[in-house]
Amino acid sequence: MTDQKRLPPLLKLVLELGPLALFFVANAYSGRFGYGDDQRIYVATGLFIVATLIALAISYALTRKLPIMPMVSGVVVLVFGGLTLALHNEIFIKLKPTIVNTLFGVILLGGLYFRKNLLQIVLDSVFELTEEGWRKLTFRWALFFFALAILNEIVWRTQTTDFWVSFKVLGIMPLTIVFALAQTPLLLRYDASKKEA
């Protein structure tokens, strides 16, 4: 059995967050290159699609596999970003986080229902948890993804496009980090390596 190649953590972070950061910067500053306020989101979306495809290609070239969450997100970026550009309607790119987060939530709950540990696959076995620990962690992440989907709907429907782009980059990531850190007691309580010792 061959060892699976893993990306260095910093490179993995850059490949996953780089396209989103480019999306934010392009939306904020493309006006300086002659694009009107009503065009900036389309420039940003086009760059977001290209950057996402490049990030996935680099990840595949280095590891010979595509990580599940970035791959699913990339497909949705391609489809909904493409619709945004083709139909010149920004609603499609705004729906992308709602669809991706809802999809992840449904997949995780579906895995629980069918007794499949999908979160462990997604996290590439970063943690060693008991079965109960994986079940509880999976349920919490599913609820969190649904909460992000609802939050995205509220923000894009009630705020300006610029605010939504900023929130997507500067709001969602800190919320995700805080949520992940809040799971530390659960990870410690259900650490399978300690129970085996």
Structure tokens, 124: 């590439």
pLDDT score of 197: 47
Whether the predicted pLDDT of 49 surpasses 70: yes
With both helix axes pointing from N to C terminus, report the angle between 131-158 and 91-113 in degrees, rounded to the nearest 10: 160
pLDDT score of 193: 74
Percentage of residues in the chain having pLDDT higher than 90: 59
pLDDT score of 123: 66
Letter string b/e over residues 172-183, b meaning 16 or more CB atoms within 10 A of that residue's CB: beeeeeeeeeee
Q: How confident is the model at residue 142 (pLDDT cuts 50, 70, 90)?
A: very high
Average pLDDT over residues 33-47: 88
CA-angle at 85, arms to 80 and 87, nearest 5°? 90
pLDDT score of 192: 77
pLDDT score of 78: 94
Burial of 79 (0-12, 13-18, 19+ CB in 10 A): middle
